[in-house]
Structure 1
């Protein structure tokens, strides 16, 4: 069996043994176990807590925890069955994240963009949706398969004495970046928007707030790359998709189940540099 046949066999085996389907019907490739991903998430979160300052403002911490408690109680047990650890990081970054293993991080910078509990629930629902849909596993798996493919191409062209090998390898690398990895990430973001909007509605938060959240994000301005060159959909694409999905999300809306999480009138601005 030659090099090309061996590599094709390996890739085919990966696809046949690791294919799954997301809740939205999208085909997924999973090469890692849940236990492996949980361990990675726990380790990464522990390192972040050591290296990044945490907020000590009690009203802010209580507000974030209140929203997180309402959201996470509706997360499928298959995604995480234990308690969720929530940390507010003292940073001007306009960001939040969730990790496998039941970890949520919220930067104080995002709290100056989210106007109320509903908008914070929108961003938190989005981040937790990444965990529910196992996007970390997909991302790691696609990177690994891309590496295998590039190594295979290199070995095959070396054995075949292909002319302009370096030029071809560069082309393959660029093609993988913009043709596979970036669109793959955009599909994750779009899926997390929709799944997160459903989750926040199910948790008692107004799903229309997801639209106003991204309108606020768009107002932040700044030069952004074309959507084709970005790992994220444009703000306008997200707003349009969330607005289209709103009638469906409203069917999950349970306002009587929502927690009463009051945003502090004043949230201290971080002294950290962005």
Structure 2
């Protein structure tokens, strides 16, 4: 099942597809959860032993954690010592994984993404010049799986956004990452143009544009940029894949693209 949302802004039209619903039926109103709802959900995700071993119910109860405050937890709040919870890094990461899955992208992320602008994206000729170094880093090198919060991880929301002068519209498409394999193939949770596996970000971009054309009965050509990492954003980071590749190179100056 999917959700389709149209958002129009005065500076430009934004057409946003969101084909993702949250997996838990309880997540429709997480902000209204009681402590009992939270504990029941953690038990469902991690088991009763996880709650007991880490004294989750006692610690959350003492701090009067409810749905609203649960969604605002951070790793720093959970592990701070002295602090309200004093959890070890491992269980804190597992709690944060649950929290991130429950957050509604149509609320916080779209609001935050709306503050960003693509008006400052360089012209294609400039992108070709500056994108060379970042291209040395593969998408898989940025993918850190499930339990870390650097670069790209499982369940991250990606957002492709690019303005097309030919139609005076910005095409924006959201998707959720299921996996990025060691060959750089991107697997998403819900299909895009009847595909859920893409050879590269450029392949993902092509499918997004083809889907947009079919859905809107467009005759105009929407050519891909071939620099899709400039226009593909990791919503948890609120930055483009291009930016993350530059950051990776800064932190790993001798790194080179995987074979």
TM-score over 0.5 for the pair: no
Short-chain TM bin: under 0.3
- Bigger RCO of structures 1 and 2 (CA < 8 A, at least 6 apart): 1
**Greater share of residues in helix:** 1
TM-score (norm. length: structure 1): 0.26
**Greater share of residues in strand:** 2
TM-score (norm. length: structure 2): 0.27
